[in-house]
Structure 1
Amino acid sequence: MEFDFSAILLGLTVLFGVVWGLDRLFLYKQRKARLDAAGTEYSDPVPVDWARSLFPVVLVVLLLRTFVAEPFRIPSGSMMPTLDVGDFILVNKFAYGLRLPAFNNKVVDLGEPQRGDVVVFRFPGFLCDDGTGKLIRSGDPGCSDPHAKVPSQNWIKRVVGLPGDSIEVHGADLLINGKPVQAEEIGPYTGNPQRAEDRLMLDMGATVWKEHLGKVNHMIARMPAYNIPNPIPNAKVPSKVPEGCYVVMGDNRNNSEDSRWWGCMPEKNLAGKAFLIWMSWKGWGTGGVDFSRIGTVIH
């Protein structure tokens, strides 16, 4: 089951605020007068006391997560080698504007994503029948029930194409507005073969490259022996990026379900810009805490 933590925080804030507020408006004075008359020391009922104590705490957490920074954990290897499975990152929530919690409607416009930004967004795809009766996420709008509500899930990718850009992808070759994106090979990928994500990349002969995406220089991984992604343009992604949309791709170019599969990422789905790794946990017996990654600025 997937939980929208922002929605939970919003619900708790409203609940605690209503309980505390209604008590103060309609019950507090009578209760206090009754206890004073009886010579009893005043105390709030337990539910009211909890609401009064927790309301400001939950409200502050909600405001910080909604408008300042929100923590996320990287669950997959689609952004390797930039972001590893088990990295805990912070996301700037005001980089692209202020949005209402849970509803994600933008209320203050503060900017737009730039080429090379690593962005967190709500997955914009659909729920589809995989042929066995199981509902799976898909980028295919022609699936059995393209209007089924998709539970909120945050994804992370790198912005490659901006609205109005002409994008072409053919295997490892990326062209933006007719110009090839330059990349130099650094060498073979190295990792811990005890970890499933590393073992896959080692078995598939992954190589690491430095890509120059506009003003951003960052690392990507290539392993064509594993998978050849869809080219762009295709049925879901036109050669020219539509207004209000962005083409996003994972840095693990041959192992990332991204715009090449499900289309452009709508601006309305943006959650924020990833900027810092504050913790990295490789797992028991496979590295533990990776102190070398803590404090890494995300480029």
Structure 2
Amino acid sequence: MDFALILFVLVILTGIAWIADKLVFLPRRRRAAEAAIAEFDRQQARIGERFADENAPQTRARLRDEKLRQPWWLEYTASFFPVILVVFLVRSFVVEPFKIPSGSMVPTLLVGDFILVNKFEYGLRLPIVNTKITHGSPLQRGDVVVFRYPKDESVDYIKRVIGLPGDTIAYENKHLTINGKPVAETPLADYFDEERIGYAKQFEEDLPGRKHAILNNPAVPPFVIGAEDYPYRDNCSYNSEGVVCKVPAGHYFMMGDNRDNSADSRYWGFVPDRNIVGRAFFVWMNFSNLKRIGTFN
């Protein structure tokens, strides 16, 4: 089940308990506390000053605390409402944490990176229904974006934005072309991929004005194997050198930086705008490598 839906249900249930406590149960407990203290005072008056409780103030405070104490079922519902509400609002409208599960974004993001995703930059969306309520800034080529996988929207993917609506994207012979203009690549030192235990060719790609590292494996053929059926598939032409796609309106073409180890738009198609979750911008933890903490390109 979607975690946002679970949080929403918890907010509703604990919120009902919190309101019921404030409007019904707390006033009852206060009346019970006042009655208990009044009864104590009457008993003290009857027995006279000589036998009166020497610790009367402490006794009154104890009676008040006992009567005002929430029952266990309210303590585990109403008491958690403010915390759950804050978590729900922050996660829905400010930032959301994710964990990188695969190596498709190596070398930019590694398996085990815990990242933060900006939820408001591209426009605020209502949780659960994902309806956009503010426009925000448009996606830019080169942004690293979390989105709901078009084939299974319960699964979140992270890739880099390569093509915007209306762009013609060609990825042939391991080289990227956007609207007929080749994207510049600068060779870098070979990258040792610890997950695959081997070296890969590394390049700095300028997309354009947004530089980032990518990996290419010369041993992997350039053509796409196993492309699925997807909406607007007719916008793409597959050949022995790769693929050429015209990005439809309201959609984006996504690719992983680990170009030969990424299931992305080349295989399962375009990402509709409604599936966008937010822009990834910060690694906040990697338990096996604390040096990973920080921003990334």
Post-superposition Cα deviations, 1:177-214, rounded to whole Å, max 9, x if no partner, equal 1111111221322244xxxx232xx1xx5211110101
- 1:268 matched to 2:269? The reply is no
Instruction: Classify 1:23/1:292 alpha carbon distance in 2 versus 1 (closer, same or farther; 3 Å).
Output: closer
What's the counterpart of residue 259 of structure 1? 265
What's the counterpart of residue 5 of structure 2? 7
Alpha-carbon shift at residue 247 of structure 1 (Å) = 0.2
* One-letter code aligned to 2:265: S
What's the counterpart of residue 33 of structure 1? 31
Residue pairs, 1:1-299, within 5 angstroms: 3-39=1-37, 40-41=63-64, 42-125=68-151, 150=152, 152-192=154-194, 197-199=195-197, 202=198, 205-226=199-220, 228-230=222-224, 235=233, 237-238=235-236, 239-281=245-287, 289-295=288-294, 297-299=295-297
Post-superposition Cα deviations, 1:234-261, rounded to whole Å, max 9, x if no partner, equal 9365332111100000000011010001
Q: In 2, distance between residues paired with 1:84 and 1:229?
A: 26
Give the secondary-structure state (helix, strand or coil) at the position aligned to 2:101.
coil
TM-score normalised by structure 2 residue count: 0.80
Q: In 1, distance between residues paired with 2:71 and 2:221?
A: 62
In the alignment, structure 1 segments of 5+ residues that lack a partner are 126-149, 282-288
Give the secondary-structure state (helix, strand or coil) at the position aligned to 1:215.
coil
- Asked if the contact 2:124–2:136 (Cα under 8 Å) also holds between the matched residues in 1, the reply is yes
> Which one has the largest radius of gyration?
2
What's the counterpart of residue 130 of structure 1? none
Alpha-carbon shift at residue 47 of structure 1 (Å) = 1.8
Post-superposition Cα deviations, 1:36-86, rounded to whole Å, max 9, x if no partner, equal 324443222222233332111111111111111111110000000111111
In the alignment, structure 2 segments of 5+ residues that lack a partner are 38-62, 237-244
Identity across matched positions, percent: 46
Q: In 2, distance between residues paired with 1:20 and 1:71?
A: 27
Instruction: Classify 1:227/1:102 alpha carbon distance in 2 versus 1 (closer, same or farther; 3 Å).
Output: farther
- Asked if the contact 1:117–1:159 (Cα under 8 Å) also holds between the matched residues in 2, the reply is yes
Alpha-carbon shift at residue 223 of structure 1 (Å) = 1.0
Give the secondary-structure state (helix, strand or coil) at the position aligned to 1:198.
coil
Q: In 2, distance between residues paired with 1:171 and 1:237?
A: 20
- Asked if the contact 2:21–2:78 (Cα under 8 Å) also holds between the matched residues in 1, the reply is no
The structure where helix makes up a greater share of residues is: 2
